[in-house]
């Protein structure tokens, strides 16, 4: 059975590179949003400057395709120089709970 995949991707970046990274994301994200199976691809900023992407994909297969997309290749090319460590990607399945809609992405 095909089920959605939820992803967190943690980008540890050099503090002085924040604006350059966000600029690259402003270019890349609309392209990713148009990829098949992309339901959510949203970036967030923690107090320590770490950036965290929260994603939802329609299936594992479409998420795999995203990994080789031109938009991702371009983004990696742009921001690789600003990373202080590897991007930590976690793939997950949802455990939906409750009836209000607040229990699942």
Among 25, 71, 75, 79, binds a copy of itself (CB under 8 A): 25
The candidate with the shortest Cα–Cα distance to 39, out of 11, 12, 71, 6, is 6
Q: Are 32 and 26 in contact (CB under 8 A)?
A: no
The candidate with the shortest Cα–Cα distance to 57, out of 85, 79, 89, is 89
Count Cβ atoms below 10 Å from residue 78 Cβ, excluding itself: 16
Among 3, 16, 19, 46, binds a copy of itself (CB under 8 A): 46
- Residue 8's SS3 state is strand
Distances (CA, A) of 87 to 38, 72, 94, 95: 19, 13, 22, 25
Query: Does 73 sit near a copy of itself (CB under 8 A)?
Result: no
The window from 34-42, 58-66, 69-77, 78-86 that contacts a copy of itself (CB under 8 A) reads 34-42
Query: Does 45 sit near a copy of itself (CB under 8 A)?
Result: yes
Among 1, 68, 85, 100, binds a copy of itself (CB under 8 A): 100
Query: Does 84 sit near a copy of itself (CB under 8 A)?
Result: no
* Positions in the binding site for a copy of itself (CB under 8 A): 6, 8, 22, 25-26, 29-30, 33-34, 38-47, 50-52, 54, 90-100, 102-105
């Amino acid at each position: 059975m095909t089920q959605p995949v939820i992803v967190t991707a943690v980008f540890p970046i050099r503090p002085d590179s924040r604006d350059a990274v966000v600029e690259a994301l402003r270019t890349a994200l609309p392209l990713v949003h148009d990829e098949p199976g992309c339901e959510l691809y949203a970036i967030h900023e923690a107090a320590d400057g770490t950036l965290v992407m929260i994603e939802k994909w329609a299936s594992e297969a479409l998420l795999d395709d995203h990994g080789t997309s031109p938009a991702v290749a371009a983004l990696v090319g742009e921001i690789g120089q600003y990373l202080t460590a590897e991007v930590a990607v976690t793939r997950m399945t949802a455990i939906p709970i409750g009836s209000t809609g607040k229990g699942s992405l």
